[in-house]
């Protein structure tokens, strides 16, 4: 890439700042499938934080997320995905095959409710009580120049009396307080952060409340998209009348 003003070759740092200028300084919300925005945000995202469905039938969605991450993340950028035990191994295998680098598995303590997980094995269905969920932590390959700052943690949530966890407002909505911890520990204020399956907008509100305003949210379901827009004080842009896909 060359500078538009002098025509000279730009350094890596100059290219990064030039491309990031294309991302607004405030929240941007889109309605639709995240795959449709993959090329639009190619190489512009520092961190992806998201929470996809935990069912085995959603595995193709995780594979698509892996490709989305490879396309949209900057070199060395992070993918943090909350998921369920029982399908985490298959997801890791998918992303490794795509070319993402595995960092570790973090722990998201359940704020107040304990779910049950299940998996079908050769001896039949195995069930267990779930007190925490895995946070898969991957990154897009880069060089030492692309290394992000340290100081992260592998455990979030678990706050006694967490009043920000209320699933009566939106099914499967996560704890705002826990996601604020996740944002503080894995992002920097100038970062461009994306949640390609933003649901009710918890990730975006957590980012804005922690002075990370450059957030991109994408949601397929119109009711959740409209709710997230209201949550951030934005007007929905032509929300469709009905959803085009199931949860």
pLDDT tens for each residue of the chain, 247 residues long: 333 333 344 344 544 554 566 787 889 999 999 999 999 999 999 999 999 998 889 999 999 999 999 999 999 999 999 998 889 999 999 999 999 999 999 988 876 556 677 788 888 888 877 778 899 999 999 999 998 876 677 888 765 455 545 555 555 567 888 899 999 999 999 999 999 999 999 999 999 999 999 999 999 999 999 999 999 999 887 644 443 433 3
d(CA 30, CA 215): 11
- Report the pLDDT value the prediction gives residue 20, as an integer from 0 to 100: 64
- Report the pLDDT value the prediction gives residue 242, as an integer from 0 to 100: 42
- Report the pLDDT value the prediction gives residue 183, as an integer from 0 to 100: 93
pTM of the model: 0.82
| CATH class name, domain 25-231 | alpha beta
- Report the pLDDT value the prediction gives residue 51, as an integer from 0 to 100: 93
- Report the pLDDT value the prediction gives residue 103, as an integer from 0 to 100: 94
- Report the pLDDT value the prediction gives residue 174, as an integer from 0 to 100: 77
Residue 202 CA from chain centroid, whole number: 11
- Report the pLDDT value the prediction gives residue 244, as an integer from 0 to 100: 40
- Report the pLDDT value the prediction gives residue 171, as an integer from 0 to 100: 55
């Amino acid at each position: 890439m060359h500078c538009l003003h002098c025509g000279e070759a730009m350094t890596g740092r100059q290219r990064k700042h030039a491309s990031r200028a294309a991302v607004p300084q405030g929240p941007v919300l889109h309605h639709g499938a995240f795959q449709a925005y993959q090329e639009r945000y190619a190489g512009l995202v520092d961190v992806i934080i998201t929470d996809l469905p935990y069912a085995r039938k959603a595995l193709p969605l995780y594979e698509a997320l892996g490709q989305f991450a490879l396309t949209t993340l900057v070199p060395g950028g992070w993918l943090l995905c909350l998921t369920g035990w029982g399908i985490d191994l298959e997801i890791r295998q998918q992303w490794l095959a795509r070319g993402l680098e595995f960092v570790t598995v973090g722990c998201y303590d359940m704020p107040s409710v304990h779910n049950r997980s299940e998996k079908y094995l050769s001896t039949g269905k195995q069930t267990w009580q779930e007190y925490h969920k895995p946070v898969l932590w991957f990154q897009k390959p880069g060089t030492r120049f692309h290394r992000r700052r340290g100081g992260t943690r592998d455990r979030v949530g678990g706050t006694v009396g967490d009043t920000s966890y209320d699933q009566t407002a939106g099914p499967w909505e996560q704890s705002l307080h826990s996601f604020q911890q996740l944002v503080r520990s894995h992002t920097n204020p100038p970062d461009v952060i994306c949640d390609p399956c933003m649901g009710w907008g918890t990730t975006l509100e957590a980012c804005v409340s922690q002075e990370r305003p450059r957030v991109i949210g994408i949601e397929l379901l119109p009711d959740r998209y409209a709710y997230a827009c209201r949550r951030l004080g934005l007007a929905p842009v032509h929300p469709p009348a009905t959803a085009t896909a199931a949860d």
